[in-house]
Amino acid sequence: MQALYAQLLVGLINGSFYALLSLGLAVIFGMLNIINFAHGAVYMMGAFAAYFLLNLGGINYWWALLLAPIIVGIFGMILERTMLQWLTGLDHLYGLLLTFGIALIVQGVFQNYFGSSGLPYAIPDQLKGGMNLGFMFLPVYRGWVVIFSLVVCIATWFLIEKTRLGAYLRAATENPTLVRAFGVNVPRMITLTYGLGVGLAALAGVLSAPINQVRPLMGADLIIVVFAVVVIGGMGSIMGSIITGFALGVIEGMTKYFYPEASNTVVFVLMVLVLLVKPTGLTGRAA
Partner 1 sequence: MTALTDDRLPAPPRAIRDEMIVFVVMALLLAAVPFSGIYPFFVMQALCFALLACAFNLLIGYGGLLSFGHAMFMGTAGYCSAHALKVWALPPELGILVGIAAAFGLSLITGFISIRRQGIYFSMITLALSQLLYFIYLQAPFTHGEDGIQGIPQGRMFGVFDLTKPTVLYYVVLVSFLAGFLLIYRIINSPFGEVLKAIRENEPRAISLGYRTDQYKFLAFVLSGTLAGFAGSLKVFVAQNASLTDVHWSMSGEVVLMTLVGGLGTIFGPVVGAFAIIAMQQYLASFGQWVTVIQGSIFVICVLTFRRGVIGEIAHYLRRSL
Minimum CB separation of residue 110 from partner 1 in Å reads: 9
Minimum CB separation of residue 2 from partner 1 in Å reads: 27
Where does the chain show beta strands of DSSP type E?
130-132, 137-139
Minimum CB separation of residue 147 from partner 1 in Å reads: 29
Nearer to partner 1, 1 or 276 (CB): 276
- Contact partners, residue 35, CB within 8 Å, separation at least 6: 25, 28, 29, 92, 95, 96, 99, 227
Nearer to partner 1, 23 or 54 (CB): 23
Sign of the dihedral defined by the CA atoms of residues 87, 93, 96, 97, in that order: negative
- Contact partners, residue 206, CB within 8 Å, separation at least 6: 46, 47, 49, 50, 61, 64, 65, 68, 69
How far apart CA 138 and CA 261 sit, in angstroms, is 25
Residues that bind partner 1 (CB under 8 A): 29, 35, 83, 86-87, 89-94, 96-98, 100-109, 111-112, 221, 224-225, 227-228, 230-231, 261, 264-265, 268-269, 271-272, 275-276, 279-280, 287
Nearer to partner 1, 224 or 251 (CB): 224
Minimum CB separation of residue 108 from partner 1 in Å reads: 3
Look up residue 33 and give its amino acid. Answer: N
Nearer to partner 1, 90 or 154 (CB): 90
Nearer to partner 1, 40 or 195 (CB): 40
Minimum CB separation of residue 100 from partner 1 in Å reads: 6
